[in-house]
Amino acid sequence: MSGRRPVALVHSRTLVLPAADVDTDQIIPARFLKGTVREGLGRGLFADWRYEPSGGPRTSFPLNRPEAEGAQILVAGPNFGCGSSREHAVWALVDAGFRAVVSTRLADIFKRNALQNGLVPVEIDAHAHASLAEAEGVEARVDVAALTLSWPGGLAAFALPPFARRCLLEGRDELDILLSYEDAIAAHERGASLEA
Amino acid sequence: MSPAPRTLFQKVWDAHVVRAAAADTPAVLYIDLHLLHEVTSPQAFAVLRERGLRVRRPDRTLATMDHAIPTTPRPRGPFVPSDPEAAAQVAQLEANAHAAGITLYGLGHERQGIVHVIAPELGLTQPGRTIVCGDSHTSTHGALGALAFGIGTSEVAQVLATQCLLQETPRTLAVEVEGRLGPGVTAKDLSLALIARLGADGATGHVIEYRGAAVRSLSVEERMTVCNMSIEAGARAGMVAPDDTTFAYLQGRPHAPQGDAWARAVRSWRALSTDEGAGFDRLVAFDATALEPMITYGTNPAMAVPVCGHVPDDVSGPTERALAYMGLSPGQALLGHPVDVVFIGSCTNSRLSDLRLAASVMRGRKVAPWIRALVVPGSQQVKREAEAEGLDRTFREAGAEWREAGCSMCIAMNGDRLERGQYAVSTSNRNFEGRQGPGGRTFLASPLTAAATAVCGHIADPRELVA
């Protein structure tokens, strides 16, 4: 099967996790990386922050509060997703129901991984980010076509490369696009082998 | 008209563009070498199976096992990890590599090791190549003038199927390092100081070119340490222009060009250096002369200070949280801080030169009785070379454990990990919360500082022992 479900709008309550530099080891610790499938990784999401060492839920952690139920927009701090390239971090967020991650700046590989899985990376300016974070749990709306994030009393624009935006809106998959370039790839290989 | 001056990065990039960027499509970049390991590849092979696709270039793909495998001493030859999940990952990689005709240096193979250690030592990492791996420390290979970066598993599938990636053009950052490293100061210290200066996201979106006299005077293995840590400042990749040091390192390695092809290759590699007058998007200058051995105090690699220094006084939100996790106070001295474990290894610092540094400190000394010290060579080849020099004996006689090759306690998904609350001085690359085991607390430092800490029994300045 190829292609993904198109993502045009994400409309939900926000969940705010304001810490800066949250690395992918926090999003999903390495011990959850020993599987061989993409599904079911939500159980490892923020595992060491979400659960006590004894295994019980840490009630103070935002994801464990009743109002987190159904939240699809994660409002994260700056440099969210730094560190390891593990796509498991994005798979875990998506498995837990998230469809958009808002930050002032997302780490490069995390952002690439998010786009491959239809998780909308939303980078907004620090001022807008601060007011959105303050309005914790507000109903917000990510509009991929308009490249805007809005909530009662607030509106912020965000940027996406035109290609990334189109892939989200059309549910296009980069692998399909690359496969369509077969002739150019083969030509490059012939040229490269002539040089060598 | 002479061509416009270009940077090292631009030259490598341009030579690999299969399809130029258009208004609504990024460039298609050809990948010369794709490295695989057991943890981030199974789901990529599954994508190919779901879609009925074949691995396009098994000859440009190399697999090994490093992340999830145990590094406890084991019998020679085939071996199955006792952890059933790790065993399943290992078995998957074996089956996937076999079915696709991909060379696999698996458990028990004489060339097995950490993916970023084995590719350079085999001569597969060459100047001007594009190299990717489902691992963020792929930036290591830039030390030889390759453009090398980490990718996610969806991209692993794309490279397996098409040998290409769609890539938005990164920005470039020149890091100019003048001066020379003083005695007892290593490439790891330089790296930690640079990351502290740039910040944990200071190089996001950029490819770094490390330049200047201090970089030129580093060995290739030292350059690998510096390029390895580029991702810890958020960089996409780190690169060093190839020079005589690079060529001397490469010549004679199993996959390096031989005979006439070698001379031709060196000529083309020399042309890769950044042209006079080529522009970078940003420039950062740094003087290595006054640099001291560095150590981290917090929970990302940018939180670093000289080992003889203090935890900062003026703590804000993130630092406050980090200090609470680390059990440290603002303004506290780091020298003399108690330590439970010393870990010498990882793709940052597990090469022969790293082990020689650690051994130079441990020789004739004893690891403090309350410290567990692990020395984990980066590859089977490093292990053999170290044993031929008697380094293993030095470590064992000092009371350290001498292990098999792998990622070990850097990632703590293979049986080697800290217990909750323990402190480690580690030569690895990440001091993130729980990185070396849930509740474990990591100080990152050089092999010299780690070894000095092991024999002193607490955080120590190596300059007092190597003088």
Nearest CB among B24, B157, B234 relative to A162 is that of B24
Which residue would you say has higher pLDDT here, B148 or B3? B148
Q: Look at residue A194 in the predicted model and tell me its pLDDT.
A: 52
Q: Does residue B207 share a domain with residue B156?
A: no
In a domain, B120, yes or no: yes
- Summarize pLDDT for B414-426 with one digit per residue, the tens: 999 999 999 999 9
Chain B positions in Cβ-Cβ contact with residue A182 (cut-off 8 Å): 162
- CATH of residue B161: 3.30.499.10
Q: Look at residue B75 in the predicted model and tell me its pLDDT.
A: 73
* Residue where a domain terminates, one of B236, B254, B287: B287
Residue B315: pLDDT band (50, 70, 90) is: confident
Q: Look at residue B81 in the predicted model and tell me its pLDDT.
A: 86
DSSP B333: B
Query: Which residue, among B169, B204, B236, would best test binding to A if mutated, counting the most A CBs under 10 Å from its CB?
Result: B204
Residues in Cβ contact with B273 at an 8 Å cutoff, skipping those fewer than 6 apart: B8, B241, B242, B243
Q: Does residue B302 share a domain with residue B275?
A: no
- Taking residues B140-145, report their average pLDDT: 98
pTM: 0.97
For residue B47, the enclosing domain spans 8-167
Tokens 């998957």 label which residue?
A: B92
DSSP B380: H
Please say whether the beta carbons of A108 and B234 come within 8 A: yes
Please say whether the beta carbons of A72 and A99 come within 8 A: yes
- Taking residues A115-143, report their average pLDDT: 97
Shortest CA gap A69–chain B (Å): 26
Residue B320: pLDDT band (50, 70, 90) is: very high
- Summarize pLDDT for B93-113 with one digit per residue, the tens: 999 999 999 999 999 999 999
In a domain, B88, yes or no: yes
Which residue would you say has higher pLDDT here, B318 or A150? A150
How many beta-carbon pairs below 8 A join chains A and B? Answer: 175
DSSP secondary structure string for all residues of A55-66: S-B-TTSGGGSG
Q: Does residue B327 share a domain with residue B353?
A: yes
User: How many helices and strands (H and E) does chain B possess?
Assistant: 16, 19
In a domain, B406, yes or no: yes
Residue of B nearest to A112 (CA): B152
Residues in Cβ contact with A110 at an 8 Å cutoff, skipping those fewer than 6 apart: A24, A80, A81, A82, A89, A90, A121
Q: Look at residue B252 in the predicted model and tell me its pLDDT.
A: 98
- Does A181 sit within 8 Å of B164, measured CB to CB? yes
Residue B15: pLDDT band (50, 70, 90) is: very high
Is A53 at the interface with chain B, CB within 8 A? yes
Residue B257: pLDDT band (50, 70, 90) is: very high
Length of chain B: 467
* Residue where a domain terminates, one of B112, B134, B167: B167
Q: Look at residue B1 in the predicted model and tell me its pLDDT.
A: 60
- Summarize pLDDT for A90-123 with one digit per residue, the tens: 999 999 999 999 999 999 999 999 999 999 999 9
Dihedral sign for Cα atoms in the order B297, B301, B306, B312: negative
Chain B positions in Cβ-Cβ contact with residue A178 (cut-off 8 Å): 28, 158, 161-162, 164-166
- Does B164 sit within 8 Å of A185, measured CB to CB? yes
- Does A161 sit within 8 Å of B39, measured CB to CB? no
Q: Look at residue B327 in the predicted model and tell me its pLDDT.
A: 98
Q: Look at residue B382 in the predicted model and tell me its pLDDT.
A: 98
Is A161 at the interface with chain B, CB within 8 A? yes
Residue B273: pLDDT band (50, 70, 90) is: very high
- Tally the domains of chain B: 3
- Taking residues B2-28, report their average pLDDT: 95
Q: Look at residue B60 in the predicted model and tell me its pLDDT.
A: 98
In a domain, B392, yes or no: yes
User: How many helices and strands (H and E) does chain A possess?
Assistant: 8, 7
Q: What is the token pair recorded at B207?
A: 């490819």
- Does B51 sit within 8 Å of A175, measured CB to CB? yes
Closest-CA residue to A80 (of A56, A111, A46, A50)? A111
Chain B positions in Cβ-Cβ contact with residue A30 (cut-off 8 Å): 67, 411-413, 435
- CATH of residue B205: 3.40.1060.10
Q: Does residue B417 share a domain with residue B307?
A: yes
CB neighbours of residue B6 within 10 Å: 17
- Taking residues A31-43, report their average pLDDT: 94
Please say whether the beta carbons of B206 and B282 come within 8 A: yes
* CA distances for B185 relative to A156, A162, B338, B353, B458, angstroms: 47, 46, 22, 14, 19
Please tell me the CATH superfamily of domain A9-195, with its number.
Aconitase, domain 4 (3.20.19.10)
Q: Look at residue B74 in the predicted model and tell me its pLDDT.
A: 79
Q: Look at residue B77 in the predicted model and tell me its pLDDT.
A: 67
Q: What is the token pair recorded at B362?
A: 């441990």
Q: Does residue B235 share a domain with residue B339?
A: no
- Taking residues A2-29, report their average pLDDT: 93
* Residue where a domain terminates, one of B246, B265, B287: B287
Bridge partners (DSSP) of residue A122 are: A102
Chain B positions in Cβ-Cβ contact with residue A177 (cut-off 8 Å): 25, 166
SS (H, E, C) B90-125: HHHHHHHHHHHCCEEECCCCCCCECHHHHHHHCCCC
3-state secondary structure of A184: helix
Residue B193: pLDDT band (50, 70, 90) is: very high
Q: Does residue B142 share a domain with residue B16?
A: yes
- Summarize pLDDT for B383-401 with one digit per residue, the tens: 999 999 999 999 999 999 9
pLDDT over 70 at B330, yes or no? yes
Report d(CA B188, CA B448) in Å as an integer. Answer: 10
Shortest CA gap B174–chain A (Å): 19
Question: Among A66-70, B136-140, B291-295, B440-444, where is mean pLDDT lowest?
Answer: A66-70
Cα dihedral value B261, B263, B264, B265, nearest 10? 80
Q: Does residue B278 share a domain with residue B241?
A: yes
Query: Which residue, among B33, B39, B264, would best test binding to A if mutated, counting the most A CBs under 10 Å from its CB?
Result: B39
Nearest CB among B42, B155, B413 relative to A36 is that of B42
Residues in Cβ contact with A34 at an 8 Å cutoff, skipping those fewer than 6 apart: B39, B68, B83, B85, B86, B88, B89, B413
Average of per-residue pLDDT values in chain B? 96
In a domain, B137, yes or no: yes
Residue A196: pLDDT band (50, 70, 90) is: very low
Q: How far is CA B40 from the centre of its chain?
A: 17
pLDDT over 70 at B437, yes or no? yes
Q: Look at residue A1 in the predicted model and tell me its pLDDT.
A: 38
Is A8 at the interface with chain B, CB within 8 A? no
Question: Among B181-195, B232-246, B316-330, where is mean pLDDT lowest?
Answer: B316-330
Residue A3: pLDDT band (50, 70, 90) is: low
Q: Does residue B307 share a domain with residue B251?
A: no
Q: Does residue B182 share a domain with residue B142?
A: no
- Taking residues A128-149, report their average pLDDT: 97
Nearest CB among B135, B154, B163 relative to A116 is that of B154
Q: Does residue B205 share a domain with residue B119?
A: no
Q: Does residue B384 share a domain with residue B242?
A: no
Please say whether the beta carbons of B26 and B166 come within 8 A: yes
pLDDT over 80 at B79, yes or no? no
Q: How far is CA B195 from the centre of its chain?
A: 14
Closest-CA residue to B318 (of A123, A161, A23, A187)? A23
- Does B50 sit within 8 Å of A36, measured CB to CB? no
Q: Look at residue B82 in the predicted model and tell me its pLDDT.
A: 87
pLDDT over 80 at B70, yes or no? yes
Q: Does residue B258 share a domain with residue B314?
A: no
Report d(CA B52, CA B71) in Å as an integer. Answer: 36
Residue A193: pLDDT band (50, 70, 90) is: low
